[in-house]
Amino acid sequence: MFGRRKKDSAAEDAAGADEQVVDGVDSNDSADVARSRARLEPEPRPDGPWDISEVREPGEGRVDLGGLFVPGVEGMELRVEVAGDAIVAATVVLQDSAIQLQGFAAPKKEGIWSEVREEIATGITQQGGVIDEVEGPLGWELRAQVPVQLPDGTGGVQVVRFIGVDGPRWFLRGVISGQGAVQPQAAGLLEQIFRDTVVVRGEGPMAPRDPIVLKLPDDAQMVAEGSVQQEQQEGSRFSGGMGQLQRGPEITEVR
């Protein structure tokens, strides 16, 4: 679904080019520190999202998508996104905002969100977009202005928030769009859905960064709304989100 990122990125080249010294540490040492920080063990998650081992009744108040249990909220629409024959993401739509949820396998003792943020930022800035890294309600996140083509063929900008949390052997990414991205203070319910999501990594072997495959609920009623657009972007498999928010198959009944 996503291309794999090449290690010799422009950002890494730039980091090695400057030989500045800050507080007695030159830039190459700083780059080494940053890379080691990206591989620290995942931070505690006292408010979620949750691992399946941490929740007694994951299906209570949540929609069972196999790899994710997604909280059900009154009035929401739940759309699923596919790559080939596999369902790999779910998007919760609430009025004029949406959050896309996607789980990935991760190393046993290494968090990857810091490194993923760098990959996303590099990909978007290379497209001519603007990135702002801030500490939000869910920790460090990226707020992006991404160039897009409007239906009339003219150029525009889409405002998107990338949030992420490292868990035990998994990583959960959220992409907030719509009003919840333009005005982050209006995204409280979407952020709570992200926090209350339960991730089911499974015990089988998975390569780090492979998507956790989802399934349809047993009693889902599906309505196909146009064709599902598959991601064809080159670069980081984590830098998507905008194209995947196109209308896809839709679960019309959510408790």
User: Residues 19-35: pLDDT tens digits?
Assistant: 333 344 444 444 444 44
* Average pLDDT for 54-62: 93
Say yes or no to pLDDT of 170 above 50: yes
Q: According to the model, what pLDDT value does residue 45 have?
A: 76
- Cα angle 12, 14, 18 (rounded to 5 degrees) comes to 125
Q: According to the model, what pLDDT value does residue 79 have?
A: 93
More confident residue, 26 or 18: 26
Q: According to the model, what pLDDT value does residue 41 have?
A: 67
Whether the model clears a pTM of 0.95, i.e. scores above it, the answer is no
Beta-bridge partners for 139? 136
* Average pLDDT for 3-27: 36
Q: Which CATH class is domain 70-230+238-251?
A: alpha beta
pLDDT tier for residue 143 given thresholds of 50, 70 and 90: very high
CA 187, 188, 194, 197: dihedral to nearest 10 degrees? Answer: -140
Report whether 167 contacts 49 (CB < 8 A).
Answer: yes
Q: According to the model, what pLDDT value does residue 1 have?
A: 34
